[in-house]
Amino acid sequence: MAGPSHYIMPLPEFDKPVKILIVASPYYKDISDNQIAGAKVEIEKAGATWEIVEVPGALEIPTAIGIAERMSNFDGYVALGCVIRGETTHYDTVCNDSSRAIQLLGLQGLCIGNGILTVENRGQAEVRADPAKMNKGGGAAAAALHLIAIARKWGKAEKGVGFTRDILMAGDTQSESSA
């Protein structure tokens, strides 16, 4: 008996180039490699380009995305990693905190496809990462592409997460005038 099917939206089309940063944690290298392979295919199908940066673990993924947003010129991000339940509550911390941080960045206007797998065992991770099976890396890339299309449709706010240079400079001017 087949499981329920779900609708997969067609990839958006772009009239200007799209540049995506894939931020991957190769903690489980074979799983990460499969996720990255799936993401690359989806990004290239949409005519976009990609770069990859690797970080040690899932908790570092949102920080790397925040740094890239402040210091580079990417249109969107794909977060790829895998957290497999272990014997301690560390699993819950890593799952919840990485997901929450990515969500907060998204609410600030960043276009992020979250492909961090949170699974009970290695078998579940392998099926979800495999581009020929569940292809969650490709799904995360597609999500980022759809968010970029929405941001472009409605106009994108100025870059910056947190304090902007203009705000910091205004503070310096104020201190100089009061001196």
**Which residues does 41 contact at the CB level (< 8 Å), separation at least 6?**
131, 138
Contact 116, 58 (CB under 8 A): yes
| Cα dihedral across residues 93, 99, 105, 107: positive or negative | negative
Identify the active-site residue in 90, 100, 122, 133: 90
Our answer to whether residue 90 is catalytic in this structure is yes
Residues tagged active-site: 90
